[in-house]
Chain A
Amino acid sequence: MKIAANEIHNGFAFEEIPEIQQLPHHTTTHHVSTREVSIFTRKNSPDLSLTIFSNYSNADWADDDEFEDTLPANQIIENKDGTKTVISYRFNDENKKVKVTRRIKSTVVREHVNPQVAERRSWAKFGLEKGHAPGPSFDTTSVGENLIFRPSTNWKAQAAEVEKNGGEQGSMKDQLKDKKVKCRICSGEHFTARCPFKDTMAPVEEATGGADIGVDDAGAAGGLGAGSSSYVPPHMRKGGTAGGEKMGGRFEKDDLATLRVTNVSELAEEQELRDLFERFGRVTRVFLARDRETQRAKGFAFISYADRGDAARACEKMDGFGYRHLILRVEFAKRTT
């Protein structure tokens, strides 16, 4: 064994997809001492970082010709926080100059590998790749969507459960499973439209509403209340309240099983939190607030459970739990309205 120090090349020239950082670098077989962290952060929002210099953007059009075919030299600025800002220029497909600003943080990783492996790292590319720049090339390598793979003895049951709860259709069906249908006319267990007494016992207002449509067509189309001609806001309309309530109810239900965790360490990871909280029941969502620039945790997180009972238990047990040198504070999330 010998020590090979490798500066991992970060400038993949992947300005279009900064997610390439996710490539797991050198998860080596032999004693990895540190892990690779390479962070690409864009200085501006995606559309701002590409500045297109078209011809008319030059102050003096007379300079155009000599300015046309030369690109300004790349600029590298060292930032205070250890990152580098690389400004490069290139021509795009329409032959316009494009300025690309990238902020790159590079980390040197030392790892112990076999001498042969270390020697292989220096090999030049050959064949179809001959002469290509180091780093994965855009057209042959990409990163797929994140897969969650957790081996388990009863994975089939779990997969079926996810399938069942995953779709909106399924969850709504579940919610309404034990709801009784009640007829508005005779209070029987069927839909109002299917009521056998619809013709004889229909409520007066509904009957008039139906008759009105013929007469006061414009009013009905305008979404006005059926009874009077003045405007009735949706939530005051007949039957409107029920819909509104149901809508709110769904969100409320979601909120009810969500915990707010505060005093979380800066170094926390979503996976760790998931592992911690999954002991109490199925966790549907873990949200760890992170700083946009540094990718460090901001100190709070939200954990959503599938079941409120589990959430209550987790809240009780995890409040005051010591995690990464800090004591967690866990409480139910309040509604954000």
Chain B
Amino acid sequence: MRPILLSGHERSLTQIKFNKDGDLIFSTSKDKVVCAWWSANGERLGTYSGHQGAVWTVDVSPNTVLLATGSADNTVRLWNIKTGECVKTWDFPTAVKRVAFSPDGSKLLAVTEKRMGFLGTIVVFDIAYGDGNLNDLDVQAEEPSLRITCDESKATVAGWSYLGKYIIAGHEDGSVSQYDPKTGDQLENVQAHEFDHQINDLQFSPDRTYFITASKDKSAKLISASNLAILKTYVADTPLNSASITAQKDYVILGGGQAAMDVTTTSARQGKFEARFYHKVFEDEIGRVRGHFGPLNTIDVHPAGTAYASGGEDGYVRVHHFDKPYFDFMYEVEREQQRK
């Protein structure tokens, strides 16, 4: 496969998202600009400018009308995807590290940082989509409909489970917790990763019944959304920044590498800047894809499972469209299963 290199960013990537149809890719980086790309050929559709600080996170509404971004300038912004206009800005006391639309697009959660005496919070906003013709998109709620405060350990990542039934959050201390999105009560809390090893990414399966977490403790875990039971563990030899579950084939992709501050002291090979493919069920590593010059900060998989994009500390996005050997690979038991 020939990767497409997208070099529209000047600083390291922070998050990449495919939209639900998989024809667009949104990427954010520390250089304040959000980019939209066509996934098929890597053409840049446009940029969303307005943030005053590093953009940490991006999410796209299920109908590809609104784009939400969270930034170090203490704001969450909503954008009209088609025109690139900013339609709404919410201000916070601290930086926003993660935003996520609920599966039906009616709610948006934002994770705020713990800093300067403020505790880390998860806030939820109700989202309106105007009259259906991209008008009145700027009519949005001013105040959050829910505010969850994380007293013990701040949340670093969060997302919505199936049907928006739970809010799942990963914490700085390596634990994963489940919240009720109506009342904001914590229903469960599990120490999924080693204590004090931050969870860097949390991505859901296509049906959102389970999710994968990537942690600094060099492992990724597949966890059930309903009871936070740990289903699978994928062990790597480097701190992980991102993990993603592929549709169509039963793989997971992990990305990581040495912490950015240690990069200059090691060669590219030792830095382990590769995307690692594991079999989702058998937990075996089945291959790696090289290419980045720095650690992989973020990975996202095309919703149909035909491509994946990775963004690195080196400022590049690499879009890989899988070719035949990727789809052909099967374990012997899987082959037998298929024959029956």
Contacts and interface: CB of A to CB of B under 8 A. Distances in A.
A147 interface: yes
B43 A141 contact: yes
B44 interface: yes
A144 B291 contact: yes
Interface stretch (B46-54, B146-154, B176-184): B46-54
Given A29-B21, A150-B329, A123 B8 contact: no
Nearest to B316: A144
A51 interface: no
Contacts of B48: 127
Contacts of B41: 23-26, 136, 141
A149 B2 CA distance: 10
Contacts of A175: none
A117 interface: yes
A149 B46 contact: no
Chain A, interface SS category: loop
A130 interface: yes
A145 B289 CA distance: 12
Nearest to B327: A151
A271 B328 CA distance: 13
B1 A146 contact: yes
A137 B44 contact: yes
A1 interface: no
Contact of B42 (A23, A123, A126): A23
A137 B41 CA distance: 11
A142 B321 CA distance: 14
Max chain B C-beta neighbours (<10 A), residue from A24, A26, A123, A155: A24
A129 B64 contact: no
B5 A141 contact: yes
Contacts of A27: 40, 306-307, 321
Contacts of B318: 144
B132 interface: no
B325 A149 contact: yes
Interface string B11-26: 0000000000111100
A125 interface: yes
B289 A149 contact: yes
B33 to A, nearest CB: 7
Contact of A123 (B45, B302, B304): B45
Interface of B: 1-8, 21-24, 33, 40-49, 63-64, 82-84, 251, 277, 284-291, 302-304, 306-307, 318, 320-326, 329, 331
Instruction: Give 5 closest A-B pairs by Cβ, nearest first.
Output: A127-B47, A126-B46, A126-B84, A29-B304, A151-B329
Interface of A: 22-29, 113-114, 116-117, 120, 123, 125-130, 134-137, 139-147, 149-153, 155-156, 159, 271, 275
Given A141-B41, A142-B7, 10 more contacts: A22-B2, A23-B40, A29-B303, A125-B44, A128-B49, A136-B41, A141-B6, A144-B2, A151-B287, A155-B288
